[in-house]
Structure 1
Amino acid sequence: MIVWTVANQKGGVGKTTTTVALAGLLAERGQRVLCIDTDPHASLTYYLGFDSEELPASAYDVFVAGKNITREQVKQTILPSEVDNLHVMPATMALATLDRKLGNHGGMGLVLKRALALVAQDYDYVLIDVPPVLGVLMVNALACCHRVLIPVQTEFLALKGLDRMMRTLTLIQKSRGHGYSYTIIPTLYDKRTRASLDTYKKLVERYGKSVWSGMIPIDTKFRDASNQQLPPSVYAPKSRGVLAYQSLLTHLQQLAQQDTA
């Protein structure tokens, strides 16, 4: 089971779109996929057709159970989506209270890792959508992944968010004992603007081969797909945005062979 965490400490950079787009493509290729929504705003949950406030169980219950969680409890939080092979562990607003309620409890940074170990035989890929805040949710998502996917909007302010994210990875990897594998994904690229091109060049200058050589373009089909609560590859399989994500997925699957070797 390969786990990818989609994270950035800036909002609006395409984290949820990237999570759903890659998950949809993997599911189409016959992979068993679990999407985990750890953002209290529950954008991923709503995107895939669920009302977070009307669910019997969610990711919140995993954290409340903590280190004593059972396989059956984990499975109770997972729902099948309308897309074959694609399941969801939804979020609720209650996740916003975790740092206050449980942040000081011992072992809270590894709850999600323990939970995923209990269902590892059920899935080929897990993609985790993370809120843009350093706290117990981001720590958990980083602790259990093979690779961090960092979408970065190709505009100058987004570089500041990326700087914060990289400092966070450095901070957490000190306690983890080894570094993270990560891929920076240029998103919302507009070839008509100088800002997009200049930002992309700065990304490559600063982070070199950690930056995916392609870019995800601005594509109105992404918004239309979210309105229909469908992965972009289901709603508009020939759109330029989906073609870009197909290329990204091929690249990430090649890297995954190294990550799990």
Structure 2
Amino acid sequence: MKVWTVANQKGGVGKTTTTVSLGGLLSERGQRVLLVDLDPHASLTYYFNIDTEALELTAYDLFKLGHQASGEQLMQAVVPSGFANLDVLPSSMALATLDRKLGSQGGMGLVLRKMLRDVTDVYDVVIIDVPPVLGVLMVNALAACERVLIPVQTEFLALKGLERMMKTLQLIQQSRGQENPYTIIPTLYDKRTNASMQAYDELVKQYGKSVWSGMIPIDTKFRDASHAHQPPSIHEPRARGVFAYQSLLTYLLQFKGRDE
């Protein structure tokens, strides 16, 4: 089972779009996909028109169980997206209180990893969307995955945000004694502007081969797909942004998962 975490400590860089786009493409290929929403803003959950207020269980309830949480309980909280092979573990606003209420408890950083190990026979790929804040949720997401996907808007302020994310990765790696491989994904690229081109060049200059060689363009079809509550590849399969994510997915699939 492959587990990818989509993370950046700057908002508005395309994290949820990346999560949904990759998940939709994988599910269309017959892969069994779980999208995990760990962001209290619940953008991924709302993307699929899931009403968190109407749910008995969300990701927050699983974290409240701490290390007693199991894969069986995770499956009880999972909600079908409405599209074949694609499920969602929904978020809720209560996740915002997790650090204050439970962050000091021992073992809280490995709750998600433990649950996902119990569902390796259920899903082929898990993609985790996390908030842009270093806390117990991001620690869980980084501990659970074998590759971190870091969407970065191709503008210079976003590059500063990336520096914070890289420092976070270093801190987590030092504390765990284990490397987190990562891929930097240039997003919101506008080939008509010098700013986008210069920011892309700076990304490659600073991070070299860690930067995916393609880029995700600005594409209004992403917004249309969101309004329709559909993965972009289903709503507008011939959109240029969808072609870009297809290329990204081909690149990412070359990396082996933990159990392969």
TM-score (norm 1): 0.98
Q: Give the Cα–Cα distance (whole angstroms) in 1 for the partners of residues 129 and 210 of structure 2.
A: 20
Q: Give the Cα–Cα distance (whole angstroms) in 1 for the partners of residues 40 and 254 of structure 2.
A: 32
On the 8 A contact 1:71/1:119 being kept in 2, the answer is: yes
Tell me which residue corresponds to 2:34: 34
Equivalent position amino acid for 1:93 in 2: M
On the 8 A contact 2:78/2:88 being kept in 1, the answer is: yes
SS of the equivalent of 1:122 reads coil
Equivalent position amino acid for 2:231 in 1: P
TM-score (norm 2): 0.98
Equivalent position amino acid for 1:102 in 2: L
On the 8 A contact 1:190/1:196 being kept in 2, the answer is: yes
On the 8 A contact 2:70/2:114 being kept in 1, the answer is: no
SS of the equivalent of 2:65 reads helix
On the 8 A contact 2:149/2:184 being kept in 1, the answer is: yes
Tell me which residue corresponds to 1:193: 193
Tell me which residue corresponds to 2:61: 61
SS of the equivalent of 2:148 reads strand
On the 8 A contact 2:21/2:242 being kept in 1, the answer is: yes
Q: Give the Cα–Cα distance (whole angstroms) in 2 for the partners of residues 260 and 70 of structure 1.
A: 19
Q: Give the Cα–Cα distance (whole angstroms) in 1 for the partners of residues 242 and 4 of structure 2.
A: 19
Tell me which residue corresponds to 1:104: 104
On the 8 A contact 1:62/1:115 being kept in 2, the answer is: no
Equivalent position amino acid for 1:172 in 2: I
Pairing 1:169-180 to 2, within 5 Å after superposition? 169-180=169-180
Tell me which residue corresponds to 1:10: 10
Give the drift of 1:92: 0.2
Equivalent position amino acid for 2:222 in 1: F
The question of 1:154 aligning with 2:154 is answered yes
Q: Give the Cα–Cα distance (whole angstroms) in 1 for the partners of residues 134 and 219 of structure 2.
A: 29
Q: Give the Cα–Cα distance (whole angstroms) in 2 for the partners of residues 130 and 156 of structure 1.
A: 22
Pairing 1:177-256 to 2, within 5 Å after superposition? 177-256=177-256
RMSD: 1.0
Long gaps (5+) in structure 1: none
Give the drift of 1:260: 5.8
On the 8 A contact 2:62/2:69 being kept in 1, the answer is: yes
Aligned positions, number:
260
